[in-house]
Amino acid sequence: MTEKKLEGTALLYKLIGEARTYDDAIIMGRGDPDFDTPEHIVEAAKDAMVNNHSEYTPPEGILPLREAIADRVKRINNIDVDPETEVVVTNGGQEALFLMIVAAMSPGDEIIIPEPNYNTYKDAVDFVGGKKVDIQTFPENAFRADPEDVRKAVTDKTRAMLLVSPNNPSANVISPEDMNAMLAIAQEHDLIIIADDIYDLFVYDDFEHVSPASLPGGKERTLTLNALSKAYSMTGWRLGWIVGPADLMARVKDLKAAISGGTSIISQYAGIAALTGPQEPVEMMAEAYRQRRRMVIDALDEMGMKYGVPQGGQFVFADIGFTGLGSAEVAQRMLTEQHVLAYPGAAFSKDRKDYLRMTFLQPEDKLKEGLERMKLAMESIMADTQ
Ligand SMILES: Cc1ncc(COP(=O)(O)O)c(C=O)c1O
């Protein structure tokens, strides 16, 4: 494979590797928040260590954390779960998504996935020998997945649908009407819903996040993932969870026991502090993202980029097809000429080679500088294509 043809994560790793060779690089696509983990959470982890909490935990996690999770999903998502049988603590959202797919699917099963989407779902589906059936979404309507397209994609092999809201990378939030329509399709065809709520605390303007498991008839067919990674700036702590109906959760729990056993007890104690302690740090971060989102949108407008207005999450997915170059080349030129790295769509999907993903996860001054550099790179690219 020549360097020019690199795609997927190989392309991303190559660009990140190059960015690291520049002292002044600004990585605009990165996925971890720039804030420190709130102090009271760090203190709880220290206490757990000092109190010699070095033991294994049950695969599903310690009960006080499962209770805190049950309370959180009731309070924020309006999902009722029994902490004894319907909650499993995981090593971040990543393990949760793998467990959900493996629990829900068998070889030959199909899962309907609105695209673009978080790309490691594909890896998990491939792993079980399942088939991913794509529904394409576009910036013109903020990457809305039309329930009618989902309905048309159902076959007798369809086992599940994936609903990530707010979405990564498209930043689309599924409206309450569409969520009801998706659930109706799932009920009609007896499908499992894989719901990913990891960005549920970051919703902008008048958009509203709805968990499918909160709707009448939703819980019994929905596995819902969440994690502390994004909301509490804890990506490296590796703490997430799945909630769902007891029958499916029994399978999730068996898989969790087989794959990794209990999640780190230190992180679990930190998780209790995160969920039961003061929530002001989360509100402060959400407010910062709100302001940064505005900065990014304004800059993209100046650059003449088409994008789906981010309704939630921490991303903007912008169409750079008008340059006549692929996203790998545009990202490469931005990096080499201006030392700024936006993630190329080609790294996410073969169908998104005309897109760039930017995140809001940089302090304002760095974000401003990064956007100015992107603008200069775009001017240089456009001058060459004229
Ligand atoms: C939509 C989505 N789901 C799951 C994950 C994985 O979460 P974690 O970082 O907690 O493993 C991510 C991470 O970026 C994500 O964007």
pLDDT digits (tens, 9 = 90+) for 159-168: 999 999 999 9
What pTM was estimated for this model as a whole?
0.95
Q: Is the pLDDT confidence value at 1 over 50? A: no
- The pair of structure tokens assigned to 153 is 């994609």
How confident is the model at residue 122, as a pLDDT? 93
Last residue in a domain, options 247, 276, 305:
276
How confident is the model at residue 119, as a pLDDT? 87
Answer yes or no: is the C-beta of 289 below 6 A from any ligand 1 atom: no
For the CA of 164, the closest atom of ligand 1 is 1
**Shared-domain flag, residues 362 and 340:** yes
Q: In this structure, is residue 36 part of a structural domain?
A: no
How confident is the model at residue 32, as a pLDDT? 87
Minimum CA distance residue for ligand 1 atom 4: 93
**Shared-domain flag, residues 333 and 297:** yes
Segment 72-88, tens digit of pLDDT: 999 999 999 999 999 99
Last residue in a domain, options 276, 301, 333:
276
Q: In this structure, is residue 131 part of a structural domain?
A: yes
Q: How far is the CA of 240 from the centre of ligand 1 (A)?
A: 9
**Shared-domain flag, residues 359 and 271:** no
**Shared-domain flag, residues 68 and 16:** no
Last residue in a domain, options 261, 276, 291:
276
* CB-CB contact of 77 with 200 (8 Å): yes
Backbone angles phi, psi at 203, to 5 degrees: -130, 135
For the CA of 227, the closest atom of ligand 1 is 10
Rounded Cα distance, 137 and 308, in Å = 10
**Shared-domain flag, residues 26 and 138:** no
**Shared-domain flag, residues 250 and 226:** yes
**Shared-domain flag, residues 374 and 324:** yes
What is the number of structural domains in the chain? 2
Q: Is the pLDDT confidence value at 269 over 80? A: yes
Answer yes or no: is the C-beta of 234 below 6 A from any ligand 1 atom: no
How confident is the model at residue 3, as a pLDDT? 42
Q: How far is the CA of 339 from the centre of ligand 1 (A)?
A: 26
* CB-CB contact of 343 with 357 (8 Å): yes
Q: Which domain holds residue 120?
A: 41-276
**Shared-domain flag, residues 189 and 94:** yes
Sheet architecture: strand order including 222-227 = 87-90, 240-243, 222-227, 192-196, 158-164, 110-115, 131-136
**Shared-domain flag, residues 67 and 9:** no
Residue range 213-235: mean pLDDT, rounded:
98
**Shared-domain flag, residues 225 and 348:** no
* CB-CB contact of 81 with 67 (8 Å): no
Report the candidate in 24, 38, 88 with the shortest Cα–Cα distance to residue 226: 88
**173, 198, 209, best to mutate for ligand 1 pocket (most atoms within 8 Å of CB):** 198
For the CA of 94, the closest atom of ligand 1 is 11
Rounded Cα distance, 210 and 305, in Å = 29
How confident is the model at residue 4, as a pLDDT? 52
CATH number of the domain at 364, please.
3.90.1150.10
Cα angle, residue 183 at apex, residues 180 and 187 outer, rounded to 5°: 135
Q: In this structure, is residue 98 part of a structural domain?
A: yes
What band does 2 get if pLDDT is binned at 50, 70 and 90?
A: very low
* CB-CB contact of 60 with 66 (8 Å): yes
Answer yes or no: is the C-beta of 196 below 6 A from any ligand 1 atom: yes
CATH number of the domain at 98, please.
3.40.640.10
Segment 239-267, tens digit of pLDDT: 999 999 999 999 999 999 999 999 999 99
**Shared-domain flag, residues 272 and 351:** no
Q: How far is the CA of 94 from the centre of ligand 1 (A)?
A: 6
Minimum CA distance residue for ligand 1 atom 16: 168
Backbone angles phi, psi at 305, to 5 degrees: -85, 145
**37, 99, 229, best to mutate for ligand 1 pocket (most atoms within 8 Å of CB):** 229
